[in-house]
Amino acid sequence: MILKDKNVIVGVTASISAYKACELVRALQKDGATVRVALTPRAREFVGEMTFKALTGEEVLWDWRSGKTSLEHIYWARWADAFAIAPVSANTLAKLRFGMADNFLTTLALAYDKPIVLAPAMNTKMFENVATQENLKALSERGHIIVDPACGELACGEEGAGKLADVEDIKTAILYAIFEKPLKGKKVLITAGGTREFFDPIRYISNNSSGKLGHELAKWAYILGADKVYLVSAPTCERKPYCVERYTVNSADEMYQKVMEFVDDVDVIIMNAAVADFKPTSYSSKKLKKDSQELTITLEPNVDILNELGKRKKEGQILIGFAAETEDLEKNAVQKLKKKNLDAIVANKTEVFSSDVFSGKIIFKDGSILEIPPIPKDEAAYRILKEIFSKIR
């Protein structure tokens, strides 16, 4: 579990979206974190402390007098590895900007000496108000992490910005606040998913890659400090990672063209996509009818994107490949690493496609090998990046 032995405080202010803080608490616990909840007095009118106490098994505070001592705000601040306020109201944002400490949560925020994750939720007009925007700008300039609200239907029935950000995005921002930044100063390009090679408007040749690991790699590249993360993905059901620029392509040719747009501007390239090796030699602009019992499709080789990247790799650029094999995993991966001028290659059996679990090997160009046991793909993505950049640095 990625947050094992980590302590997180979730602050909750008065907002109709306060109920989503329960989801955030559970998501953090699922990743292994110990969670404590601090409420503003008015937040208790939306979700009571008993709910959070039942979820966390921890003491829930909303007033100095509700704690064991009058110094709980100091003890909690020192205990926490991360502190998020989700939702944070316009009123609390103003208090945080000007250092007011008129309740337990705002006093705790003053005692906490690291960046706080702030996820605003309010009416669109309140969010767009000059005062709120100035408060957010000032807090961001101090180093706090602002998770912008989503657009959608609000509790008042209006449409616009102000809806609490997705719980997954808030959790990603919390991970960003916790983990070290080995990719700081780097621009990273990652590919994901299985490309599609169409032979008529609705039919294509592809593979069963879900794109999940590639999306997790992009998410973790951001968490580990990359200045910019570009994700070029074949069609997938995976949601766009927080703070990542995603470009969707279909075919190998489209992926090649998009990758080449970024190649000279990035420091790290991770080719996780399952790119089709072949494509149909012809394409029908009309749906092919079932006029006979047989259909013959002639194939021709696709461009080898990884090979092209290896040829034009510039000095200091890091190129990571992936190898999915049914047999001779290590042998085939080593051959691919050498042939395509890679710094490292991640080798795995094809069974990990469309699975939430990953296992495999990281093989470095110096011949060293690191095993990755079966673990969830989000943890695997973190470990792959951590191990590769720990060794390469």
Is it the case that residue 227 has pLDDT exceeding 90?
yes
Give the chain's mean pLDDT: 92
The residue with greater pLDDT, 300 or 72, is 300
Q: Whose CA is closest to 6, among 23, 27, 24, 29?
A: 29
What does the pLDDT read at residue 65?
66
Question: Which pLDDT score is estimated for 216?
Answer: 97
Fold agreement between 7-178 and 187-392? yes
Question: Nearest to residue 284, comparing CAs of 298, 300, 304?
Answer: 298
pLDDT score at 92: 97
Report the topology of domain 187-392.
Rossmann fold (3.40.50)
pLDDT attached to residue 385: 95
* CA–CA distance, 12 with 121 (Å, rounded to integer): 11
120 is written with which tokens? 């605003």
Q: What is the pLDDT of residue 295?
A: 82
On the question of pLDDT at 383 being above 80, the answer is yes
Superfamily of domain 7-178: Flavin prenyltransferase-like (3.40.50.1950)
As a whole-number percent, the residues of the chain with pLDDT over 90 amount to 80
Report the residue count for the chain: 393
Q: Which positions are catalytic?
A: 156
Residues 315 and 127: their CA atoms lie apart, in Å, by 46
Domains in the chain: boundaries: 7-178, 187-392
Instruction: Check whether 166 has a pLDDT greater than 70.
Output: yes
Question: In this structure, what token pair is assigned to residue 312?
Answer: 């034009």
pTM of the model: 0.92
